[in-house]
Amino acid sequence: MNRALLLLLSMLLAACASKPRTEAARFNIDPQTCKASIADVAALPVTRVAAYKDRFPKSLRFEKVATCLRSDNGGALPLVLMDLGPPAALEVQVNLIMRSEVVLAAAIDLLDAERRLIRSVPFERFVRRGGAYSGSIFLNEKDADVRYLVLRPDPDAVGGKNESISGVAQTFSAVFVSGGTLYAVNSVTRSEAVLRNWLSEIGDFQVRAVQQ
Amino acid sequence: MIRRVFLLTVALLLGACATLPQQGYNREANQHIKKIQVLTMPQANVRLHIPNHIGYSFGLIGTLITEANRNSKETWLQDTAKRAQFNQFQDLQAALTSAMDAKGYELIWPEPLTDSKGVKRDGFELRKKYAPVDADAQLDLGFMYIGYTASAAEKSSPYRPTIELSVRLVSADGKKVLYAEQFRYHNVLDNKEAVILEPAPEHRYPKFEDLEKADLTVIDGLRGAVLDVANAVAQQL
């Protein structure tokens, strides 16, 4: 009986445990759904904040909010178009958040009001943090023409893998009663782990603009 | 002793969750900044820790035993640093001067490099107030940690060189923050927001005895860590 129970528990645990990922996550596109022109793509607003200490807006899932654009060579490009609002001196901060061994390896394009490309920032310019890659783009006086920001997978980065050594915490909690009193014990221990992230075409991101 | 253990625990807990509000550097808007006054740095001894060591979970007695054990290991590391004539402030000065020079900046360093009494600092080891300086900007640097740490007291969680450095660039008049960032070399506390630098694989010591065997070589690990952090700071400016 005990053996059968143990077997059942092992099977349940094995079903819950996720296998380590072995490759980057791709964005599955149905080319039929692609827009023919960037002019047809709806833009999301970029949240503006007054100070660095202000909270970041809630993260968005690229694969849920992205639009597919048909490229000149007939291919399909997933992208998120964001409206930066009226010209102002801004630091546009982009966070690409690591989740389940996946991080969006994004490049940023800056577009003018006619949605024409002004300049691009490749993924290699992003800085790796503990829980995200982050990048900043400053919009100064000379950038008065910049009106939109595009996030799209960077083909030069997608497919890569990042490994980071980290002390991962495990929390042990227990509650017991002794002498009529309820005691709660909470203990945190750590062990070293290698955290892997695949540079992918999908993932979570945050964008905000800090007024300068 | 108990007070010291309490302070140590609080410091490690703060280190785990506290993150300096990050602010990028607007190079284009600050093109006039070439000559930077570096401010004196807070004192920071070479340390050795195993954060959340299981021994700390066994009440006061367990904590005292664990702390006594850690203390003797830390003393060994500090003696070894002395024998190797390691000075993290001078190493940072040399590495940062070179990396910033390559980017066209001139750094002016104070003498001595570290604080005299009376400098008030926040939890990130950065100054609470800034006075005007005779340069284009001023650079505030604070080691929150330098030394060796292991994630756990087991072979699979080796001792590795570890640095936590806070950096803030402030305008010459001391009124405007131009850049703020935290760098962590070996992310032993799994910080999610600081810039993370990976520890050099050759300085991986599974047990404390391995650190002892390596002797002065362990200090090369700290020197390499300071160099990597300095290069990462310069890259951002």
Each of the 212 residues of chain A gets a pLDDT tens digit; together they read: 556 655 555 555 555 556 788 889 999 887 778 899 999 999 999 999 999 889 899 999 999 999 999 877 778 899 999 999 999 999 999 999 999 899 999 999 999 999 999 999 999 999 999 889 999 999 998 999 999 999 999 999 999 999 999 988 877 777 778 777 877 767 777 788 899 999 999 999 999 999 98
The number of folded domains in chain B is 1
Beta-strand runs (E) in chain A: 44-45, 47-49, 60-61, 67-70, 76-83, 90-97, 102-104, 106-111, 117-121, 127-128, 132-139, 148-153, 161-178, 181-200, 204-211
pLDDT value of position B14: 44
B101 in reach of chain A (CB within 8 A): no
Beta carbons of B143 and B115 less than 8 angstroms apart: no
pLDDT value of position A170: 77
Which domain, by its residues, includes B127? 22-48+87-236
Whether B195 and A128 lie within 8 Å, measured CB to CB: yes
Which domain, by its residues, includes A113? 22-162+197-211
Residues A63 and A110 in one domain: yes
Residues of B in contact with A189 (CB under 8 A): 52, 54, 57, 152
CB-closest option in B54, B157, B196 to A129? B196
Residues of A in contact with B194 (CB under 8 A): 129-130
Residue A12 lies in a domain: no
Whether B26 and A166 lie within 8 Å, measured CB to CB: no
Separation of first and last alpha carbons in chain A: 69
Q: In chain B, whose CA is at the least distance from the CA of A98?
A: B192
pLDDT value of position A157: 96
For residue A84, the SS3 value is coil
Determine how β-strand B106-108 pairs with β-strand B137-149: unpaired
Most B CBs within 10 Å: which of A165, A187, A211, as the mutation test of the B interface? Answer: A165
Q: What pLDDT tens digit does each residue of chain B (237 aa) get?
A: 555 554 555 444 445 556 677 889 999 999 999 999 999 999 999 999 988 777 776 677 777 878 778 888 999 999 999 999 999 999 999 999 999 999 999 999 999 999 988 899 999 999 999 999 999 999 999 999 999 999 988 888 999 999 999 999 999 999 999 999 999 999 999 998 899 999 999 999 999 999 999 999 999 999 999 999 999 999 999
Residue B149 lies in a domain: yes
Residue A14 lies in a domain: no
pLDDT value of position B98: 97
Residue A169 lies in a domain: yes
**Amino acid, single-letter form, for residue B137:** A
B193 in reach of chain A (CB within 8 A): yes
Residue B196 lies in a domain: yes
Read off φ and ψ for residue B215, nearest 5 degrees: 50, -125
Whether A53 and B21 lie within 8 Å, measured CB to CB: yes
Residue B69 lies in a domain: no
CB-closest option in B27, B51, B199 to A190? B51
Task: Identify the CATH number of the domain in which residue B40 sits.
Answer: 3.40.50
Whether B26 and A138 lie within 8 Å, measured CB to CB: yes
Residue A201 lies in a domain: yes
Q: How far is A124 from chain B (nearest CA, A)?
A: 13
Q: How many CA atoms within 13 Å lie on the side-chain side of A97?
A: 12
pLDDT value of position A11: 57
The number of folded domains in chain A is 2
Interface ipTM above 0.85: no
C-alpha angle A46-A48-A51 in degrees, rounded to nearest 5: 145
Residue B68 lies in a domain: no
Most B CBs within 10 Å: which of A98, A129, A138, as the mutation test of the B interface? Answer: A129
CB-closest option in A130, A187, A188 to B191? A130
A2 in reach of chain B (CB within 8 A): no
Residues A123 and A189 in one domain: no
* Tokens 């809630």 sit on residue: A58
